[in-house]
Structure 1
Amino acid sequence: MNLEPVVNTCADGCCASPAVAQDRRAALVRRVRLLVAATITYNVVEAVVALAAGTAASSGALIGFGLDSVIEVASAVAVAWQFSGADPEARERRALKVISISFFALAIYVTFEAVETFFAGTAPETSRTGIVLAAVSLVVMPTLSAAQRRAGRELGSASAVADSRQTLLCTYLSAVLLAGLLLNALAGWWWADPVVALAIAVVAAKEGRTAWRGQHCC
């Protein structure tokens, strides 16, 4: 069995990984492609459902969650593009930049929506569809994230690991959304969602900076 060294472009060589068997590397690349395709498919469905439910319930949180899914798709497409070529490592840095920008865009948008919702003080209507969607995402997204993170680390691919963190961040947003929708529906605590969303925005900004520096697989 021939061994082929994995070359990556992480900053300061922090992602340097041991040699990976050629057939194992090919299997890992196929796995990343499948996981990215699954992530894109789920997020497209998630975006459509969340935007429709958010519009019906006048829920800024649901609409924001739907737009976050659009950003998730952009991140996954960047990784899909990287691994569609014969030499994924050569496209590593450009894919990381796209993922980093998507993190920053998410942080800015979530912050804007949270502040606007907090000062407006307008409680959205109860959305059963949104509650179910957030609950399902809490199961699906961490599963996809963990699988892609394992494959990305074994490959030494910073972009695959960064995209898995983007997916994991969607899990946090799902939890925030679910908590906000339930607290609004059961206790009338409309302010819970924007407060926690601001914390998520801080995490998103931190992840964006890490992706920009190419340190996600360290």
Structure 2
Amino acid sequence: MTTLTQLQAVLDVLKLAERLKFELRHSYTSSGRQESVAEHTWRMSLMAVLMEPHLEQKVDMVKLLKMVIIHDLIEAEAGDMSALDVLRNPSLRLVKQQREIQAIENLRAKLGEPLGPEIYELWFEFEEKTTYEAKVANAFDKLEVQLQHNEADITTWEEIEYDMSYMMDKHVTFEPTLKRLKDLIEEQADEKMKASGIDTELIRSRVLAR
């Protein structure tokens, strides 16, 4: 039987998770405001639901959704550090990892058995990208980011994000359907940049030369 202590732990984590509604990410929405972590996670979850029938390999949908929903939960405690910040200052990568590991360990302790260890293991599975579900979840993570960039005003893009629009291949090569979805999202980015007078051929050449 579920105890009051277990239910209180759930409420405590839900209270913590409420922070994700106002923890802002680097990405902007089409309305011109920054998106929240919660909004990113919600659309990743929707991507999973809508794409599941099209994946060429059977996926454990319950596991996939759990992984998607909890992958950024640690940011309620650790905060969001964008990939751009880490690219600009690689020393931040270790700081980010340490904060996130401490946050997931705190969540495991707070929730206790049996949920704490399950959340903990799913988070590390997502990070390690070894299982099919983890690879799919990570692909959705990267694709949703680019999709949001495509929907934001081009003036919110940093120059490095022009390059990143053509750097998603490594996240989708394992799944043909996700590769095709990536191509569509990449085409949107390409058209958006061209419409703003950006030389996308030069950017493609720069990315290929890396």
Between the two structures, name the one with larger relative contact order (CA 8 Å, sep ≥ 6).
1
* Larger helix proportion of the pair: 1
